């Protein structure tokens, strides 16, 4: 465990690039993402490699290179100055663009860092993906949740059955040609806040019917 902790500490040792024109929320999110990725790297209990300051990759037992990216989801703006910051974590997917492009970049980084083994298919179709939306104060506790999802996938278990660390709304769908198990997870606090203020069918990608389909969505609320 100690060597993984040392590797994860690299995320906190390197000072972030100065963001002269960034807002306070963007600078705060950048520091938060570094802490989250460091925590995730430890909880994965395996070697990881940094792709960008907001993303890292690791080798799954299947030989695929999996990856995670953090990004601001909603930030206060001139149009909606009252909205709090909401952050998003994407595993094995992109909000916009082709995930295959990120797969290729992650595989290249993994090769450079010695994560790929002979016979691996680092860009094979993912078994699962995740889109997680939470408030900043909730993010760090979800590092263990992402690590649990990784291990559930490797044990050929139902990723959708993994319990979030705090009350959440969970939707599981089958997406793409290969039937990737796609998880959409919103913390209870984030869901309740935004459901009352914006059109959720416009901000939950590829799930415009998310709110209506309660038979597909389960509330992991205690």
DSSP sequence for 89-135 = EEES--SSS-HHHHHHHHHHHHHHTT---TT--TTSPPSEEEEEEE-
- Minimum mean pLDDT among 131-135, 181-185, 206-210: which range? 206-210
For the chain, the residue count is 222
With b for 16 or more beta-carbon neighbours within 10 A and e for fewer, the 189-204 pattern comes to bbbebbeeeeebeebb
C-alpha neighbours within 13 Å on the C-beta side of residue 107:
16
Q: What is the mean pLDDT of residues 175-185?
A: 83
For the chain, first and last CA: distance in Å? 31
pLDDT bin (cut points 50, 70, 90) of residue 196 is confident
Residue 177 phi/psi, 5-degree rounding, is -65, -30
DSSP sequence for 174-201 = EETTTTEEEEEEEEHHHHHHHHTTS-GG
Q: What is the mean pLDDT of residues 57-80?
A: 89
Global pTM value? 0.84
pLDDT of residue 15: 55
Q: What are the domain boundaries of the chain?
A: 2-220
Q: Which residue has the higher pLDDT, 8 or 97?
A: 97
CB 36 within 8 A of CB 136: no
pLDDT of residue 109: 96
pLDDT of residue 13: 56
- How far is CA 110 from each of CA 22, 65, 74, 115, 125, rounded to the nearest angstrom? 30, 7, 31, 5, 16
- Minimum mean pLDDT among 63-67, 153-157, 204-208: which range? 204-208
Q: What is the mean pLDDT of residues 48-62?
A: 96
How many angstroms from the chain centroid is the CA of residue 167? 17
CB 109 within 8 A of CB 123: no
Neighbours of 59 (CB within 10 A): 22
């Amino acid at each position: 465990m100690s060597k993984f902790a040392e590797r994860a500490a690299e995320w906190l040792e390197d000072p972030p690039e100065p963001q002269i024109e960034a807002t306070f929320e963007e600078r705060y999110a950048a520091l938060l993402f570094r802490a989250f990725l460091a925590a995730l790297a430890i909880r994965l209990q395996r070697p990881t490699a940094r792709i960008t300051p907001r993303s890292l990759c690791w080798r799954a037992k299947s030989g695929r290179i999996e990856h995670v990216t953090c990004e601001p989801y909603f930030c206060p703006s001139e149009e909606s100055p009252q909205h709090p910051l909401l952050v998003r974590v994407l595993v094995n997917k992109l909000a916009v663009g082709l995930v295959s492009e990120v797969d290729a970049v992650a595989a290249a980084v993994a090769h450079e860092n010695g994560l790929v083994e002979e016979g691996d298919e680092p860009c094979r179709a993912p078994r699962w993906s995740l889109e997680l939306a939470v408030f900043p104060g909730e993010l760090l506790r979800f590092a263990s949740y992402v690590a649990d999802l990784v291990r559930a996938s490797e044990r050929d278990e139902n990723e959708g059955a993994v319990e979030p660390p705090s009350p959440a709304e969970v939707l599981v769908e089958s997406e793409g040609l290969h039937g990737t198990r796609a998880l959409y997870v919103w913390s209870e606090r984030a869901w309740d806040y935004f459901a009352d203020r914006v059109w959720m069918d416009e901000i939950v990608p590829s799930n415009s019917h998310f709110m209506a389909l309660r038979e597909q969505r389960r509330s992991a609320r205690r």
